[in-house]
Amino acid sequence: MPLAALTPLAIISGCLTVAGVGMHLNHWLFTGEEGLWSRDRLIKKGYIKQ
């Protein structure tokens, strides 16, 4: 297969991977009780007022 035909596939799969990692990171950092910088945790620690 010519490289030009593979490039769009590589870009698409790269974007999907980045989106998947981004969603995972977003969940890990900002959502829920366990989120590193989640609102709940910051409120609990007293960094931000509710």
Residue ranges of the domains in the chain?
A: 3-45
Measured CA to CA, the distance from residue 31 to residue 42 in angstroms comes to: 11
Res 1: pLDDT: 57
Measured CA to CA, the distance from residue 40 to residue 50 in angstroms comes to: 9
The pTM (predicted TM-score) of the whole model is: 0.44
3-state secondary structure 1-50: CCHHHHHHHHHHHHHHHHHHHHHHHHHHHHCCCCCCCCHHHHHHHCCCCC
pLDDT tens, position by position, 3-46:
777 788 888 888 888 888 888 887 777 776 667 777 777 788 88
